[in-house]
């Protein structure tokens, strides 16, 4: 008897699983449209297309201020001011031979940056800074990374920190040497 009951129960359970199949059902109807919103912030104001106002027609030529009419000779481009190494550039930092100063700027916290452009070889420039800075009293670099197209060195002399980045300009293929230097300031809180 229990075997018959088990077989009947299994058949009934199997039939129920097939009856729950949704493959014969139809797509339900779309929900009804919702009523207009009500309550706080539900005010809908109709928008009106602005009317077109007749435009005044002006005869003659109007030249906006600072723009010359076509055919007028354009002024020559302003000459770039020459950039040079600032007066506070630390002693003992070499400048690659044949390089030119591309930029010089003051950064946050009284730091300075000078960017040089040169045609030199990256490993040669890296070794120039590594060797010459040590000879000039900067000590060995406390940070150093040398790669194919980008290298980095950090030196310290007294309270002056100098970071040197050597990279390649993708447009011109020239080497770009950025020298950033600043005076180390004591922390505004005790060290722990």
CATH number at residue 109: 3.40.1000.10
Domain assignment present for 131: yes
| pLDDT category of residue 192 using cuts at 50, 70 and 90 | confident
17 in a domain, yes or no?
A: no
Q: What pLDDT does 30 receive?
A: 74
pTM given for the model:
0.56
- Among 50-59, 114-123, 162-171, the least confident range: 50-59
For residue 192, being part of any structural domain is answered with: no
- Which residues constitute the domain of residue 133? 100-183
> Other CB atoms closer than 10 Å to residue 126's CB: what's the count?
22
23 domain-assigned: no
Instruction: Give the burial class of 160: count Cβ atoms within 10 A of its Cβ; 0-12 exposed, 13-18 middle, 19 or more buried.
Output: middle
Spatial strand order of the sheet with 100-106 comes to 100-106, 112-118, 175-183, 160-168, 151-157, 143-146
Give the separation between CA 124 and CA 103, rounded to whole angstroms.
22
Within a domain: residue 14? no
Pair 78, 86: CB distance under 8 Å: no
- CA angle, 30 as apex, 27 and 32 as ends, to 5°? 155
- Kindly state whether residue 125 falls inside one of the protein's structural domains: yes
Number of domains within the chain: 1
| Residue 140 belongs to some domain of the structure | yes
Give Rg (Cα) of the chain. 38
């Amino acid at each position: 008897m229990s075997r018959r009951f088990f077989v009947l129960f299994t058949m009934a359970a199997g039939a129920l699983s097939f009856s729950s199949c949704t493959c014969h059902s139809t797509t339900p109807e779309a929900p009804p449209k919702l009523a207009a919103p009500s309550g706080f912030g539900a005010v809908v104001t109709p928008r009106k297309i602005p009317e077109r106002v007749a435009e005044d027609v002006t005869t003659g030529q109007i030249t906006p201020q600072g723009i010359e009419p076509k055919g007028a000779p354009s002024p020559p481009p302003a000459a770039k001011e020459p950039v040079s190494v600032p007066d506070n550039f630390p002693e003992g930092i070499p400048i690659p031979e044949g390089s030119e100063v591309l930029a010089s700027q003051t950064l946050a916290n009284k730091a300075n940056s000078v960017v040089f452009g040169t045609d030199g070889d990256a490993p040669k420039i890296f070794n120039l800074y590594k060797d010459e800075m040590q000879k000039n009293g900067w000590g060995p670099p406390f940070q150093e990374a040398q790669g194919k197209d980008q290298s980095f060195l950090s030196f310290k002399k007294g309270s002056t920190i100098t970071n040197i980045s050597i990279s390649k300009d993708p447009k011109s293929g020239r080497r770009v040497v950025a020298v950033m230097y600043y005076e180390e300031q004591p922390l505004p809180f005790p060290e722990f």
